[in-house]
Amino acid sequence: MTTITLILSPELEQKLRESIARNDTERVRQLLADAFAPTVELLLGEKTNSKIHDDEFEVIADQLVDDFAACVGSDVLPLSDYAVSREGIYEEHP
């Protein structure tokens, strides 16, 4: 899990508090989106500009597999080729 800390200027924090007090959901959403945009751009820039090594990829892939297995359990059978084919997906929807 990743934690992202958003540091707000005192002015923005005040605007947020006022908007929350007025129950202005749309304004709160907009203020937070504007404040968060530079952080998102930075994170996306880091992802697209950085390459991971094969070893790192394997570790991440193994973790994803383990997390998925923990969510679905060990009793789940894989889907058949037919089940994931176009015909299988749209079988009941002509």
64 phi, psi to nearest 5 deg: -60, -45
18 falls in which pLDDT band (50, 70, 90)?
A: very high
Q: For the chain, which residues make up each domain, given as ranges?
A: 10-89
Count CB atoms within 10 A of the CB of residue 31.
Answer: 19
Residue pLDDT, tens place only, 26-55 = 999 999 888 888 877 877 776 555 677 888
The predicted pLDDT at position 17 comes to 92
The predicted pLDDT at position 41 comes to 80
Long-range Cβ pairs for the range 63-70 (8 Å, 24+): none
Structure tokens at 24: 């202005």
Is the entire prediction scored with pTM above 0.75?
no
How far is the C-alpha of 94 from the C-alpha of 87, rounded, in Å?
10
Rounded to an integer, the average pLDDT of 67-79 is 79
